[in-house]
């Protein structure tokens, strides 16, 4: 069985739903780990995974997600966690006046099979809404409207979010890999 390492119960719920839909079991290792400060989500995810190699029993995976706002040259990107804790969604909305609100979420899953680390990514394009809307989800969900939708991610339930999200794209790639390579025994 494969283990997800995260301290974020929302991430666990979204990912468990996907494993459930595929008839797969998922173990949750609830653990907080330190993230390096780096320029991109791929490096942060890789580094966090590498540090867990001697801490968590393989096979396991974790993921790192960043929100990249085009008009802010990709900010908060690798600082997404810090900015969410400090500025929060009201702070992001204050930074953005008028047009130029396009943004993307990037999720990078890092999977350690006992020998090497593999990465699987997912990108969701969209824009930052004019105001915070919705009750579901977490983090930046209330201010992010996916391309092709009128709703923020927070106005969607978990199933709808999972049908299009950055995280679900990355996790789908992981699940395909695990199935293809018979890694789920
Ligand atoms: P991390 O991957 O836990 O480092 O997440 C960085 C920041 O992005 C945190 O503040 C999270 O709350 C936020 N975040 C991560 N994933 C999502 C998501 O799916 N929707 C909205 N915010 C997210």
Q: Ligand 1: which of 11, 41, 49, 138 to mutate, most ligand atoms within 8 Å of CB? A: 138
Residue 19 burial class via C-beta count within 10 angstroms: exposed 0-12, middle 13-18, buried 19 and up: buried
Q: What is the pTM of this model?
A: 0.96
> What is the 86 CA–ligand 1 centroid distance (Å)?
13
- Listed in sequence order, the residues at least 6 apart from 184 whose beta carbon sits closer than 8 Å to its beta carbon are 1, 2, 24, 178
Known catalytic membership, residue 159: no
Q: How high does pLDDT run on average in the chain?
A: 95
The H-or-E segment that residue 60 falls in is: strand 60-69
pLDDT tens digit string along 111-168?
Answer: 999 999 999 999 999 999 999 999 999 999 999 999 999 999 999 999 999 999 999 9
pLDDT-based confidence at residue 50 (cuts at 50, 70, 90): very high
- Residue closest via CA to ligand 1's atom 9 equals 81
As for ligand 1, residues whose beta carbon falls within 6 Å of it are 8, 64-65, 67, 80-81, 84, 137-141, 153, 167
How many helices and strands, by DSSP H and E, does the chain display? 6, 6
Omega before 59 cis (within 30°)? yes
The single residue of 20, 39, 47, 64 carrying the catalytic annotation is 64
Q: What is the mean pLDDT of residues 163-185?
A: 92
Q: What is the mean pLDDT of residues 1-17?
A: 97
* Closest by CA position to 21, among listed 166, 158, 148, 183: 158
- Listed in sequence order, the residues at least 6 apart from 164 whose beta carbon sits closer than 8 Å to its beta carbon are 124, 146, 149
Q: What is the pLDDT of residue 105?
A: 98
Mean pLDDT is lowest, of 14-28, 39-53, 150-164, 171-185, for 171-185
CA distance 125 to 64: 17
Q: For the chain, what's the residue count?
A: 185
Could you give the domains of the chain? Answer: 2-180 (3.90.950.10)
Ligand 1 atom at shortest distance from the alpha carbon of 144: 21
Q: What is the pLDDT of residue 185?
A: 60
pLDDT tens digit string along 65-93?
Answer: 999 999 999 999 999 999 999 999 999 99
- Residue closest via CA to ligand 1's atom 17 equals 139
Query: Does pLDDT of 54 surpass 70?
Result: yes
Hey, what are 142's tokens? 């209330």
pLDDT-based confidence at residue 183 (cuts at 50, 70, 90): confident
């Amino acid at each position: 069985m494969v283990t997800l390492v995260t301290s974020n119960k929302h991430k666990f719920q979204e990912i468990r739903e996907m494993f459930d839909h595929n008839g797969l079991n998922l173990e949750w290792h609830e653990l907080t780990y330190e993230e390096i400060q780096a320029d991109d989500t791929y490096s942060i995810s890789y580094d966090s995974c590498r540090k867990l190699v001697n801490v968590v029993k393989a096979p396991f995976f974790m993921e790192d997600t960043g929100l990249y706002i085009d008009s802010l040259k990709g900010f908060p990107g690798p600082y997404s966690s810090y900015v969410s804790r400090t500025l929060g969604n009201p702070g992001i909305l204050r930074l953005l006046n008028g047009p130029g609100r396009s943004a993307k979420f990037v999720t990078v899953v890092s999977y350690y099979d006992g020998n090497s680390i593999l990465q699987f990514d997912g990108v969701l394009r969209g824009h930052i809404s004019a105001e915070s809307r919705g009750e579901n989800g977490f983090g930046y969900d209330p201010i992010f409207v996916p391309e092709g939708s009128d709703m923020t991610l927070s106005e969607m339930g978990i199933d709808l979010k999972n049908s299009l999200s950055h995280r679900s794209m990355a996790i789908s790639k992981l699940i395909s890999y695990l199935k293809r390579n018979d890694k789920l025994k």
